[in-house]
Amino acid sequence: MRYKIKHSIDGRIRFQIGIRELSKKEEDILEQYLLAQKGIEKVKIYGRTAGVAIWYNTDKKDILSIMKKYDYNVAKEKFEPRENTTNAINKYYKEKMIQKIAKRFIMKMTVPQPIRCVIVTIKAIKYVIKGIFTLAKDGLKVEVLDATAIGVSILQKDFKTAASVMFLLEIGGLLEEWTHKKSINALADSMSLNIEKVWIKTQDSEIQIPFTNIQQGDIVIVRAGYVIPVDGAIIDGEGMVNQASLTGECVPVEKAKDDYVYAGTVLEEGELFIKVKNASGATRYEKIVEMIESSEKLKSGIQSKAERLADNLVPYTFAGTILTAILTRNLTKALSILMVDFSCALKLSMPLAVLSAMKECSEHNITVKGGKFLEAVAEADTFIFDKTGTLTKAEPVVKEIYTFNGYDREEVLKISACLEEHFPHSIARAVVRQAKNEGIEHKEMHTKVEYVVAHGIVSTIDEKRALIGSYHFVVEDEKVTLKDEELKKIEQIEKQYSRLYLAIGGQLAGILCIQDPIREEAKQVIQALRNKGFKQIVMMTGDNPYTAQCVANKVGIDKFFAEVLPEDKATFVEQAKKKGHTVLMIGDGINDSPALSCADAGIAMKEGAHIAKEVADITIATDSLEEIVILREISTLLMKRIKRNYNIVIGFNLGLILLGLGGIITPATSALLHNTSTIAIGLESMTKLKK
């Protein structure tokens, strides 16, 4: 592809890629292609001027190479066009907004008043009919209020007021719909697949390839804890698949041979061999958008409460109108009250505030799947931390390897890496990385591997049962017997390390000592969370008590639990909630997923297991805990904004009612001030919370 660099700074570059306007399909294919490349964080397409801006975290030469390799005809075979992209939505609503404003201006300037009155009357019929149907079906709601105000204005031959009310209702509705659609698509983008490598089955063995190299007909292997990267049919294996990202249902579904699975769902248990039907998993995007739109995830409790209260105020507005008409016998004053609608501003500003806050979180590399989770973060008083990969760094290192029963160091590391590379966990990555650093190749030497959650891995090597995992798993559960001299050797190992035990054929083969460095910012973040109102901060880990105590002391956590199982974490969360606490849980492993699901808001780390990120309500996309503090700040500011908006709407509209009763303002002025304030509050709700 030929291009010209228009502007460039560190981390961002803008290209001119042609002289003609890009079609919606060309924009979408280019966006999908760029976002699928490693090192590209964000993309903005300027279709009308054939430009593209790229935010990146890699070498600038890599970005230039990516742009040079791009070929639309090749890319469109790999990426399926999406129906609703953010660019397409912006383009559609901008044009619609311009058309509405231009149409009203032209009518006022060119159409004679008698004809305008006829057009306004015909247009008002739609609102009146809608009001009648709403009254019959749902009772006194805002639509009835709007219909009455417009209808009474027409009957009074106040066509100017009726036209103004209808125009402002249209603009307000369009703004709300536009922001809602755009925010949903931004959320869907953040929830879309982010997979770099996958395992595929060849004639001889299993190999790992880049996700972008998958072809139709390939057989992809998915093991417990991983996201299913493609749409396809199962040709072998069975397992329990969590389809919450597509269906909203968190109970896993059993899948076996000949069943169909979809990209973006997560395998909780078992192993699946999937024949690829659609390499791009393109249907995933539309399914996420549909799931978000049809759910109540976007609404926080306070938002829903404000909207219900707004609807409840409608009958009082009607009562005030009728009472004013009876007491004053002045229809103009009564109409001034009717023009004031509390719910209009509340129903516009509340969702805009929530969706804007979610967007602001995404700018800080925090993905939030719904407004109610922001409310949970703002109200939470209990924070539960996992240790490994959360309070400690996502890149632990192998410090020592102890060998037993004739096995040498290289063999222990080779076998361990061979087993661990199949499963997503920071400790597993440390073992694989150590083998790679030492130049140890570890071709597949085992049979099928099985992951036992929170315990370890089981397989067979040379017809001998191979185990790797915790002491509890290898020695206590699997009954591997330790000799006296082995026990003495184990006693001499420094207690500060986490340990992986490798046993083959019922004998201990080796112990890998893992150093899990604490994050530099952990202590500061814990203190900041205390300052922001968290009364109880707890650490829970499957590691040994000594290591847990060391970490807790260093980061300033008073309460911790060691050697806990996944169900123990989930039970603690449930018990805390029963006591009236609002609980946040942050973790990164497969064993954290039950607790993440149970918490009022579950938070997953960037380098976490796929299932942890999938079941979590919030995902931190950077390798730092500092974003948690920012998340708390944004959530708290959002709740303050919602409450402030509520008070402003109630106060301002009450003021309009009093001015109308006093005959100080006309119904037209009342309608104009009310609708102008509604749009102003809506626009203010879209501004950033964290200045």
In this structure, the answer to whether residues 498 and 423 fall within a common structural domain is yes
Short-list 345, 361, 352, CA closest to 636: 361
- CB proximity list for 166: less than 8 A, separation 6 or greater: 120, 123, 124, 127, 150
Q: Is residue 99 part of a domain?
A: yes
Q: Is residue 63 part of a domain?
A: yes
Rounded to the nearest angstrom, the gap between the alpha carbon of residue 387 and the centroid of all alpha carbons in its chain is: 23
- Domain span at residue 54 reads 4-81
Q: Is residue 645 part of a domain?
A: yes
Report pLDDT for 282: 45
How far apart, in whole angstroms, are the C-alpha atoms of residue 94 and residue 96? 5
Report pLDDT for 306: 67
In this structure, the answer to whether residues 401 and 502 fall within a common structural domain is yes
Report pLDDT for 515: 83
In this structure, the answer to whether residues 343 and 434 fall within a common structural domain is no
In this structure, the answer to whether residues 387 and 261 fall within a common structural domain is no
Short-list 422, 465, 480, 451, CA closest to 593: 451
Looking up tokens 């009364």, which residue turns up?
A: 535
CATH number of the domain to which 597 belongs: 3.40.50.1000
Share of the chain above pLDDT 70, in %: 86
CATH number of the domain to which 222 belongs: 2.70.150.10
Q: Is residue 628 part of a domain?
A: no
Report pLDDT for 193: 55
Q: What is the longest distance spanned by two Cα atoms in the chain?
A: 105
The per-residue pLDDT for range 272-327, each reduced to its tens digit, is 999 987 655 445 555 556 655 554 455 556 666 666 776 777 787 778 788 888 88
In this structure, the answer to whether residues 141 and 268 fall within a common structural domain is no
What are the residue ranges of helices labelled H in 111-254? 113-138, 142-155, 159-191, 244-247
In this structure, the answer to whether residues 582 and 557 fall within a common structural domain is yes
Number of domain units in the chain: 5
Report pLDDT for 637: 95
Q: Write out the E strands in 51-99.
A: 51-56
Domain boundary among 20, 51, 81: 81
Report pLDDT for 654: 83
Short-list 45, 55, 51, 30, CA closest to 89: 45
In this structure, the answer to whether residues 131 and 233 fall within a common structural domain is no
Q: Is residue 629 part of a domain?
A: no
Short-list 2, 7, 69, 11, CA closest to 37: 69
Report pLDDT for 295: 47
In this structure, the answer to whether residues 172 and 37 fall within a common structural domain is no
Q: Is residue 58 part of a domain?
A: yes
- Residues 357, 689 contacting (CB under 8 angstroms): yes
In this structure, the answer to whether residues 205 and 300 fall within a common structural domain is no
Short-list 24, 11, 36, 39, CA closest to 95: 24
Indicate the average pLDDT of the chain: 82
Domain boundary among 482, 515, 548: 515
In this structure, the answer to whether residues 522 and 510 fall within a common structural domain is no
Q: Is residue 53 part of a domain?
A: yes
CATH number of the domain to which 63 belongs: 3.30.70.100
Q: Any bridge partners for residue 275, and if so which? A: 219, 233
Report pLDDT for 367: 83
Domain boundary among 515, 530, 563: 515
Report pLDDT for 125: 93
The per-residue pLDDT for range 490-517, each reduced to its tens digit, is 888 877 788 899 999 999 999 999 887 8
Report pLDDT for 2: 81
Alpha carbon of 22 to those of 7, 32, 48: distances in Å? 20, 15, 6
Alpha carbon of 593 to those of 370, 433, 676: distances in Å? 18, 25, 47
In this structure, the answer to whether residues 28 and 132 fall within a common structural domain is no
CATH number of the domain to which 485 belongs: 3.40.1110.10
In this structure, the answer to whether residues 493 and 554 fall within a common structural domain is no
List of the chain residues with pLDDT < 70: 80, 82-87, 172, 176, 179-180, 183-196, 212, 244-251, 278-307, 310, 339, 341-344, 347, 394, 424-425, 442-448, 451-455, 590, 608-611, 668
Question: What global pTM score does this model have?
Answer: 0.68
Q: Is residue 285 part of a domain?
A: no
553 burial level (CB within 10 Å; 0-12, 13-18, 19+): exposed
